[in-house]
């Protein structure tokens, strides 16, 4: 359960409305389910839960009503986070379509693009995956080599993307390509929504090759585009203006934490305390020091979430505060999980009993392996430090 801040009668009324709806409609079988680790059966239930949330008006709530939202503020969105967390239920969203693509369309799209694309994100018709990173252009997005050429009323795109998450479930790739090879690095780039398949259901010149990860999953793909086609009406912000649109998407990707962001780390902390107690290490001075360190960091995350909540109430954008938060929790997570492995001892090096041809690490090992990428995705820790140095500290830009 989260600590609640009294934000006045309107906020109390909205909180009561959401809480009442959750009490009436909450599926008990989804209590505590992790969306990222759902079984196929749970995934079907989550899809039905998402549709129920949409029908109730709790999906994409900050969007204008004419595009499928409710026209609410970040304050109400934060209240939703709190109430779903309080109920122990996943607050389903429309993924990167809602978090990353929609903000770019809202700011840079034409009226026609907003009217077409946004409702299709809100109702789940379109599911997006991201085509930014390339083998030779990760954090250096301006170094991309994927090209787009105008052919009548279409853009024809060829190149390679990498680390495309959720591509096998998506039907649209939001993609960066260079449409003016003679322009300076940050110009001549276009931001385009590329259908994964043609109207007839055939591949739209897009090949996906799964990338096996440390944890045994293959959630990412290498994505090859061979003359993939998209209507020029799918270019957001106009040809050669994609860098500015991209900054909107990246700003959303690095947005500030909600007041519930610390909760998974809190649960992990108390689970680690239980491990130390079970192994007879709870009185060990070094272990207690490590646990005190972890508890302090989780509390700092809680206060960071409250600060972000204050920004939401005041209508302020998170700005570089989001970068500080991202650095803090991602680096903490790696160090904490490494220290938990030390407390677990030899057990941390063993796989649970399973068939010889399986590779299914336990939850703690999975968390440790997955944490290794947290300082990379969404902008590396080095990039985040550059943002803090330049935008908060006023340091000169790097060369």
| Exposure class string for 346-367: b at 16+ Cβ within 10 A, else e | eebeeeeeeeeeeeebeebbbb
pLDDT at 318 over 80: no
Confidence grade of residue 214 (pLDDT, cut at 50, 70, 90)? confident
Predicted local confidence at residue 398, as pLDDT: 67
User: Which range in 77-81, 139-143, 366-370, 393-397 is most confidently predicted, on average pLDDT?
Assistant: 366-370
Contacts of 287 (CB under 8 A, 6+ apart): 276, 281, 343
Name the residues annotated as catalytic: 253
Tell me the pLDDT tens digit for each residue of 351-387: 888 887 778 888 899 999 999 989 988 778 898 899 8
pLDDT of residue 138: 66
pLDDT value at 93 more than 70? yes
Q: What is the pLDDT of residue 257?
A: 54
Say what the pTM is: 0.84
Residue range 239-248: average pLDDT? 93
Range with the lowest mean pLDDT among 1-5, 86-90, 118-122, 136-140? 1-5
Q: Please, how many CA atoms are within 13 Å of residue 232, restricted to the half-sphere of its CB?
A: 10
pLDDT in tens, 13-69: 999 999 999 999 999 999 888 887 788 899 999 999 999 999 999 999 999 999 999
Confidence of residue 238 (pLDDT cuts 50, 70, 90): very high
Give the per-residue pLDDT at 137.
Answer: 76
The residue that leads in pLDDT, 192 or 34, is 192
Q: Is the confidence at residue 199, as pLDDT, over 80?
A: yes
Q: Is the pLDDT of residue 1 over 50?
A: no
Q: Is the pLDDT of residue 254 over 60?
A: no
For residue 81, what pLDDT is reported? 87
- For residue 298, with 0-12 CB atoms within 10 Å meaning exposed, 13-18 middle and 19 or more buried, which class applies? buried
For the chain, give the mean pLDDT. Answer: 90
pLDDT at 40: 87
Centre a 10 Å sphere on the Cβ of residue 319 and count the other Cβ atoms it contains.
Answer: 16
% of residues, the chain, pLDDT over 90: 62
pLDDT value of residue 360: 83
Is residue 309 within 8 A of residue 258, CB to CB? The reply is yes
| pLDDT reading at 255 higher than 60 | no
* pLDDT score at 304: 87
Average pLDDT over residues 145-157: 96
Average pLDDT of span 318-323: 78
* Tokens describing residue 162: 């990498």
What pLDDT does residue 357 have?
A: 77
Region 130-150: mean pLDDT is: 88
Residue 256 or 338, more confident: 338
Q: What is the pLDDT of residue 300?
A: 95
């Amino acid at each position: 359960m989260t600590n609640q801040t009294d934000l006045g009668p309107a906020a109390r009324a909205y909180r009561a409305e959401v809480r009442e709806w959750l009490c009436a409609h909450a599926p008990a079988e989804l209590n505590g389910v992790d969306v990222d680790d759902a079984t196929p059966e749970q995934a079907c239930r989550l899809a039905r839960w998402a549709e129920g949330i949409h029908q109730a008006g709790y999906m994409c709530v900050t969007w204008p009503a004419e595009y499928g939202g409710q026209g609410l503020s970040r304050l109400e969105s934060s209240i939703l986070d709190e109430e779903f967390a309080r109920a122990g239920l996943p607050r389903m969203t429309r993924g990167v379509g809602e978090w990353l693509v929609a903000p770019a369309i809202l700011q840079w799209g034409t009226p026609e693009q907003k009217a077409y694309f946004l409702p299709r994100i809100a109702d789940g018709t379109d599911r997006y995956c991201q085509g930014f990173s390339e083998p030779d252009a990760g954090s250096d997005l301006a170094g991309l080599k994927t090209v787009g050429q105008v052919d009548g009323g279409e853009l024809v795109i060829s190149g390679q993307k990498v680390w495309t998450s959720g591509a096998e479930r998506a039907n649209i790739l939001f993609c960066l390509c260079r449409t003016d090879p003679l322009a300076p690095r940050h110009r001549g780039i276009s931001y385009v929504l590329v259908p994964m398949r043609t109207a007839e259901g055939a591949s739209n010149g897009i090949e996906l090759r799964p990338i096996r990860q440390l944890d045994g999953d293959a959630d990412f793909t290498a994505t090859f585009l061979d003359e993939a086609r998209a209507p020029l009406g799918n270019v957001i912000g106009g040809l050669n203006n994609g860098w500015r649109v991209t900054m909107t998407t990246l700003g959303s990707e690095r947005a500030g934490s909600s007041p519930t962001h610390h909760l998974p780390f809190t649960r992990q902390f108390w689970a680690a305390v239980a491990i130390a107690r079970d192994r007879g290490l709870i009185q060990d001075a070094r272990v207690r020091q490590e646990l005190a360190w972890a508890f302090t960091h989780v509390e700092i995350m809680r206060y960071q979430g409250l600060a972000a909540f204050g920004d939401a109430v005041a209508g302020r954008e998170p700005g570089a505060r989001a970068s500080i938060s991202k650095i803090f929790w991602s680096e903490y997570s790696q160090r904490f999980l490494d220290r938990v492995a030390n407390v677990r001892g030899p057990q941390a090096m063993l796989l649970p009993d399973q068939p010889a041809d399986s590779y299914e690490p336990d939850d703690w090992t999975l968390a440790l392996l997955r944490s290794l990428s947290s300082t990379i995705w969404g902008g590396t820790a080095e990039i985040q430090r550059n943002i803090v140095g330049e935008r908060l500290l006023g340091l000169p830009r790097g060369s």
